[in-house]
Structure formats: C-alpha cells, structure tokens
C-alpha cells in the first residue's frame, strides 16, 4: 500500500470519528417531527378517519424534508457523509416499509382491527427510534423509550390517550433537540 493511500485512509478514519462525535441532526428535524407527531397522534382521538391519509402523505413528505434539512445542515457545517446519509435512508425507509406492509392486516384481510394496528405501528416506530438512538443518533433512543412507555400507557387510558402520548413524545423531541443543539452542535439557521 502506498504511503499516500495510507494517509488518505487514516484521514478518512479520523474524519469519520469527528463526524460521529460532533453534532447530530439539526433542531429543525426534531421540531418538524414534534409537530407531525402532535398532529398525527391527536387525529386518532379527534378525527380518526383522517389519520391514515395524514401519515400516508405526511410520513414520506416529512422523511424527504428531514433528508433535505439534514443534507443542508451537514453541508453547512462541512460534514457531508454519503455513508451516513444512506444509513439514515435505509433505517427510516425500512421503518416506513414495515408500516406499509402492516397496513394490509387491517385494510385488506381484516385480521387486525384499526385500533390494534395503530398500536402495532406505534411499536414499530418506537423500536425504530430506539435502534436509531443505538446506531445513528443517541438522543433518539430516549424518544423510542418514551414511545414504548406511551404504547404501554394506551392500554390504561381511555380518553384522549393518543393526544397525551403525542404531547409526551413531541415534548421529548423538542427537549432532546434543544439539548443536542446546546450540547455543542452548530445552531440551525
């Protein structure tokens, strides 16, 4: 191996460590999903017939907006990583695919009622956030844990449970995003 190639590989390695250690997603992504969760979860209690269309349209659009905000943020701070971008794409795309594959359980076969399916979807999302916190961005594991607690709480709450869980998760997202922002990550513009 040439000396130049070794130096290049060493710099790539150090750059990867720096990219993973300095900052995560911009606050704007946390805020976007806090708003989406607050609206989407509240719809279950106040307009249940609109929940599916909200997430069918809003989920992918929110994902695309998140990718754009993340790309713009990474470019601005000089930490673009194609590998990191694809890791997020595979993770969140896998979550969306699992949810889309679960929907026919209620819509096509009727094997599961919509109330149960919505909780299963919450569990898929909670696990996705938790694993994202383990593998991609640490604060997300706490959001996943909050969602799991909300999932369990829904078994005991009869009135406005989804709205309360939405408030809990949205608050968690804003607090986590704020803490990340003040931890040393460059501010969003």
pLDDT digits (tens, 9 = 90+) for 71-117: 898 888 888 778 888 888 899 999 999 999 999 988 787 788 888 89
Under the phi-then-psi rule, with left for phi > 0, alpha for psi from -120 to 50, and beta for the rest, what region is 176?
alpha
- Indicate whether 14 pLDDT > 70: no
Query: Is it the case that residue 9 has pLDDT exceeding 80?
Result: no
Tokens of 171: 């608050």
Q: How do the domains of the chain map onto residue ranges?
A: 3-182
pLDDT of residue 29 exceeding 60: yes
Nearby residues of 70 by Cβ (< 8 Å), 6 or more positions away: 25, 26, 29, 85, 88
CB 43 within 8 A of CB 54: yes
Q: Which two tokens stand for residue 68?
A: 């754009």
- 105 C-beta neighbours (distance < 10 Å), count: 16
Predicted TM-score of the model (pTM): 0.80
Terminal alpha carbon distance of the chain: 43
Number of C-beta neighbours around residue 114 at 10 A: 17
Chain CA centroid to CA 102, Å = 18
> Using an 8 Å Cβ cutoff, are 168 and 34 in contact?
no
Structure confidence at residue 3 as a pLDDT band (50, 70, 90): confident
């Amino acid at each position: 191996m040439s000396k130049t190639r070794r130096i290049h590989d060493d710099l790539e390695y150090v750059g990867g460590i720096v990219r993973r250690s300095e900052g995560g997603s911009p606050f704007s992504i946390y805020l976007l999903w806090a708003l989406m969760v607050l609206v989407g979860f509240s719809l279950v209690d106040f307009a249940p017939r609109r929940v599916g269309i909200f997430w069918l349209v809003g989920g992918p659009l929110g994902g695309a907006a998140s990718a754009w905000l993340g790309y713009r943020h990474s470019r601005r701070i000089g930490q673009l990583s194609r590998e990191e971008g694809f890791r997020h794409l595979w993770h969140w795309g896998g979550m969306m695919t699992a949810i889309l594959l679960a929907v026919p359980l209620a819509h096509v076969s009727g094997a599961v009622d919509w109330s149960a399916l919505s909780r299963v979807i919450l569990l898929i999302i909670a696990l996705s956030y938790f694993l994202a916190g383990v593998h991609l961005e640490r604060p997300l594991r706490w959001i996943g844990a909050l969602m799991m607690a909300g999932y369990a709480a829904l078994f005991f709450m009869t009135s406005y449970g989804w709205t309360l869980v939405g408030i809990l998760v949205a608050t968690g997202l804003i607090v986590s995003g704020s803490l990340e922002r003040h931890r040393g990550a460059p501010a969003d513009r």
